[in-house]
Structures are given as structure tokens and as C-alpha cells.
Amino acid sequence: MFSTLFLIVLFVFIIVLPLVWLLSQSSHAQDSERTLPKSEKKPITPKTNLNEKKGAVGEQIIKVLVLNQLDRNIYHYFHNLIIPSRTRTTQIDNIIVSPFGIFVIETKYFAGWIYGQEQQKMWTHTLSRHSKFSFKNPLHQNYRHIKALSELLNLPETYFHSVVAFTHRNCQLKTHFPPNVCLQSNFIDYIQSFEQEILNNDTIQAACTILSQESWIATPERVQAHLQQFQSN
């Protein structure tokens, strides 16, 4: 009899009471979330979802390739800048300033197969027969980047080269794409295929000076402000 009573009391203290406490805490947290004013809700945190993290990986792959395989005295590299674009801002993955032009590089870290055409609004990413999704044509996206850079640097758009780089090692381009849509394996070869000098030293120095300004660095606060402009629509 005593042992049975002891086991019941022990069960109440070890199982029931902690469970009641956890349920009360969960209810309190939900009530707090429901009553939190809209203006006090937690702001968007940049680089937290999976797509953004994949994008960051792709950008870093390009950075490693550029810094290790291109002559730094000729190719001046800039990474992850937020610059003005008319009434908004635009975020650019990678920029290379060289005598052969300014390369503006949009990176995608996709495994699988890529389908699309140069003028199509949407391209398709396929992982398997049952897994596919559409994404915006990155060439069109990159053209907006070039327009913003052209205005910022006060240079004609003809001085810029748009490049889209799919950096995942298991990515395949399954339709005919223009040469400026690259894989990781041929990205450097494409950059080095430009041999005609179109920018003089003064122009290169002026462009690098502008792009080196601290105000363009994509700090967490600036990324937050950049993303917020899309939330307001």
C-alpha cells in the first residue's frame, strides 16, 4: 500500500507537474505573440532562409575562384554591395573591375538541371521528375544591376559585362544558353576570354574608389533596410 502511494506521488512530481508547467509556458508564449503590436513584431532578419544561405555559398565560391585564379593587379574584386537604384537600392553579388570591362556577376547555387532561354521571363530549376520550380531570369535581374552601376560610376552600359554563374558542382545547363551563363567549371575561362582593353587606368581607379566606399558595404542593418523596401509593397 505504501509503495503504491509512493509511486503515485512520484509520478505526479516527475511527470504531471512538469507537463502542466510546460503547457502553461506555451500558452503564455502564444498569448504574448497574439497580443504583440504590429509595430513591435520582430523585423526580418537577413540571410536566414535556405535560399539566402545558398545564395551566400554561391557568392563565396565565386570570391574564392576570383581571388585565387585571377591576377589581383588586373582584376579588382568587390563583393556583396548595396548601391542606390533610382528610388530604391539594389544588392549585387560580385563585381570585377578590369581593363577589359566591369563584370557584374549574379550567382545561383542550384543543384540539378536548368532550363530557359535568354529572353524568357522565367527559367526552370529541376531536381527530379517530381521536383521543379520556376525562378526569375537572372540575366534580366542582372541588367538592373548594370543600370544602377552605370549611373553610380557615371559610365556607359557598354563598359559592363553581365555574367550569371551557377556555382553548384552538380548543376547542369540543359538548354542552349548564351556564353555569359556559366558553370563553376568555365566561369574563369569566360572572364579571361575578354582580351580587348576598354578601360584606362584612370577610369579603373575612379571606379574602384567609388566601389570601395564604406557606405555600399552590405552590413546587416543595410541589408535589413534593403529588404524592407520589398515588404512595404
**28-81 residue pLDDT tens:** 333 333 333 443 444 444 444 555 666 688 889 999 999 999 999 999 999 999
Helices and strands (DSSP H and E) totals, the chain: 7, 9
Q: What is the pTM of this model?
A: 0.75
Whether pLDDT at 148 is above 80: yes
Average model confidence (pLDDT) for the chain? Answer: 82
Q: What gap in Å lies between CA 71 and CA 181, rounded to an integer? A: 22
Give the helix/strand (H/E) hosting 232. none
Q: Quick one: CA dihedral 63, 97, 84, 181, positive or negative?
A: negative
Rounded to 5 degrees, φ, ψ at 142 are -70, -30
Q: Do the strands 160-166 and 181-183 form a parallel or antiparallel pair, or are they unpaired?
A: parallel
Read off the C-alpha cell for 70: 585571377
Read off the C-alpha cell for 177: 544558353
Rounded to 5 degrees, φ, ψ at 134 are -95, 150
- Taking alpha carbons only, the member of 106, 86, 85, 84 closest to residue 95 is 106
Q: What gap in Å lies between CA 29 and CA 36, rounded to an integer? A: 11
Amino acid at 124: T
The residues, any chain, with a CB within 8 Å of residue 173's CB and separated by 6 or more, are: 113, 114, 166, 181, 183
Rounded to 5 degrees, φ, ψ at 133 are -150, 160
User: What is the secondary structure of 44-61 as a DSSP string?
Assistant: PPTT-SHHHHHHHHHHHH
- Average pLDDT estimate for 2-15: 45
